[in-house]
Amino acid sequence: MSLTVMKFGGTSVGSAERIRQAASIVQRHAQQGDQVVVVVSALSKVTDLILSVLNSARLGNGEVMEEGLRQLSERHEQVVSELFQGHTRKAVSADAQATLNHMRDFCAALKLLGSATPQVMDMVLPLGEKMSAHIFAACLNELGAKGTFVDSARIVATDDKFGDAAPDMEATSRQCREILLPLLQQGQIPVVMGYSGATAGGQVTTLGRGGSDYSGTIVGAAMDAHEVWIWTDVDGVLTADPRVCPDAVTLPEVTFAEAIELSYYGAKVIHRKAIWPTMDRGIPVWIKNSFKPEVPGTKIVESLPESPHPVKAVTAVTQASLVTLTTRRDVHFAEIFGRLFLRLGHEHVDVLFSTQSSSENSLGLVLREPDTEQVVRAIQRLFRTELKHGILNPVTVHRDIAVIAVLGSGMKGYCGILGRLFSVVARNNVSVIAVAQGASELNICFAVTNSRVDDVVRAVHQEFLGAEAAN
């Protein structure tokens, strides 16, 4: 009997109708004799709302906090009342209300304290998943399947980097087997809260925003599942974000390496760390549309035959910045830059790309905007002496830029891509702020001003992936 882990994103459980549809996808699959473990996100927009409730609580804004709590209650009550009746309705509703009361108590405490550490935030942020997983399990029961709620804190073991935790796969595998296997053997369908886990000491952690995809692949890898299916609101991985390029098309297959690059450079359809656990074990991942379950979707696999089309997709990370560091010319800059990269590693900062020019003794780091302050502070602390004595020039920060990535394993050894790419950018009258081609030749990244990012993505997509280019 094969095991499939199915993860449903926020829009796939965004309303009573969507939850019923998602649960029936699971029930039909289970009926065919397969074992299924479900991983769910919170109802769409619920985590944003919880975050805003938490922020208003710690800033002492009681009215906004109360309004947010009221909306959370109304949203879940609405879904519960549309899905269930009688005793089930009472039980599921009581469950959601208990979670919301817990949230309210927390918020009252935060309001008094006037602050919240990432650890405290992580105790509340996954409560949306707690409610959706309970509702989903009950909905499976209504359909005649045996859904069972599973708290992620009992199975997903992580480190203590609150807000962006990483899994301990050994402990997670042990816990998943101990808790999920007996349920599966009894014919149950475990419904696991996405997005969160817990440290060895039992403190709740979250895996970063959009982290339920990561939960899905962590559980899939821990259970050595046959496949992981990520159900979302688009037909699979597309050649570009369909909100920016309406003519983007679905890619039937991409490799693990391509999927990692795509998600790292902004394709929101997969969390940027989600591919790692399954790639290590060679478990295929499917991205599927829960609105159109009959469409096959995109299969993410270990390797693919060479494609005649060098470029597979265009993605973008908006809100980035370029931090530039220059040293005096008589200094051995590699030692200085080496120390900096070591520090960034310790602080778990991901650099989108970097450029180094030895003639100018300068290093450019292109970072996600939320990481910028942390990096500038780290540079100022680490190189206090060098900055004071002019060995390093003052750090410069260029904000409001975006990084565009052109991706595809077929670009390796293919002539003329860079020429075509930058001709398109120039024709759109946009100047390139920084550029890097990955040594693996899997991607070309470049930075442009944020205000022109969509125009450039559309133009580059048209050049390499538009109807004409595809023929």
The residues binding ligand ASP (CB under 6 A) are 9-10, 41-42, 47, 128, 194-195, 209-213
CA distance 141 to 189: 10
Q: Which residue lies nearer to Mg ion by CB, 210 or 266?
A: 210
Dihedral of the CA atoms 41, 146, 19, 241 (nearest 10)? 50
DSSP label at 42? P
What does the angle CA 93 – CA 95 – CA 100 come to, to the nearest 5 degrees? Answer: 95
Total residues in contact with Mg ion, by rule CB under 5 A = 2
Member of 14, 68, 126, 210 binding Mg ion (CB under 5 A): 210
Closest approach, Cβ 22 to ligand ADP, in A, equals 11
**Which backbone phi and psi does 121 adopt, to 5 degrees?**
-55, -40
Closest approach, Cβ 310 to ligand ASP, in A, equals 32
Closest approach, Cβ 89 to ligand ADP, in A, equals 26
Closest approach, Cβ 215 to ligand ASP, in A, equals 8
- The item of Mg ion, ligand ADP, ligand ASP, none sharing an interface with residue 194, based on CB under 5 to 8 Å by kind, is ligand ASP
Q: Which residue lies nearer to ligand ASP by CB, 80 or 270?
A: 270
Q: How many CB atoms lie within 10 A of CB 168?
A: 18
Pairing of strands 196-198, 147-150: unpaired
Closest approach, Cβ 343 to ligand ASP, in A, equals 28
Question: Coil, helix or strand for 4?
Answer: strand
Please state at what angle helix 46-58 crosses helix 62-83, rounded to 10 degrees: 150
Q: Which residue lies nearer to ligand ASP by CB, 214 or 256?
A: 214
Closest approach, Cβ 269 to Mg ion, in A, equals 7
Q: Which residue lies nearer to ligand ADP by CB, 147 or 266?
A: 266
Q: Which residue lies nearer to ligand ADP by CB, 197 or 210?
A: 210
CA distance 356 to 410: 26
Q: Is 266 in the site for Mg ion (CB under 5 A)?
A: no
Q: What Å distances lie between residue 113 and 48, 102, 120, 123, 168, CA to CA?
A: 22, 17, 12, 16, 32
Q: Which residue lies nearer to ligand ASP by CB, 129 or 386?
A: 129
Closest approach, Cβ 307 to Mg ion, in A, equals 26
Q: How many CB atoms lie within 10 A of CB 299?
A: 18
- The item of ligand ADP, ligand ASP, Mg ion, none sharing an interface with residue 209, based on CB under 5 to 8 Å by kind, is ligand ASP
Dihedral sign for Cα atoms in the order 230, 233, 238, 240 = negative
Q: Which residue lies nearer to ligand ASP by CB, 47 or 298?
A: 47
CB 352 within 8 A of CB 403: yes
Site string for Mg ion, 9-28 (x = CB under 5 A): x-------------------
- The item of ligand ADP, ligand ASP, Mg ion, none sharing an interface with residue 313, based on CB under 5 to 8 Å by kind, is ligand ADP
Q: Which residue lies nearer to ligand ADP by CB, 120 or 238?
A: 238
Site residues for ligand ADP per CB under 6 A: 9-12, 41, 210, 232-234, 237-238, 240-243, 267-269, 313, 315
DSSP label at 211? T
Q: Which residue lies nearer to ligand ASP by CB, 167 or 194?
A: 194
Q: How many CB atoms lie within 10 A of CB 381?
A: 9
- The item of Mg ion, ligand ADP, ligand ASP, none sharing an interface with residue 195, based on CB under 5 to 8 Å by kind, is ligand ASP
Among 192, 261, 174, residue whose Cα is nearest residue 228: 192
Closest approach, Cβ 9 to Mg ion, in A, equals 5
Stretch that binds Mg ion, among 112-120, 207-215, 252-260, 323-331 (CB under 5 A): 207-215
Q: Which residue lies nearer to ligand ASP by CB, 218 or 444?
A: 218
Q: Is 211 in the site for Mg ion (CB under 5 A)?
A: no
Residues 6+ positions from 80 with CB-CB distance below 8 Å: 89, 92, 93, 96, 135
Closest approach, Cβ 202 to ligand ADP, in A, equals 27
CB 218 within 8 A of CB 172: yes
Question: Coil, helix or strand for 359?
Answer: coil
Among 400, 349, 402, 395, residue whose Cα is nearest residue 374: 349
Q: Among all chains, which residue has been given the structure tokens 């309970």?
A: 134
Chain residues in the site for Mg ion (CB under 5 A)? 9, 210
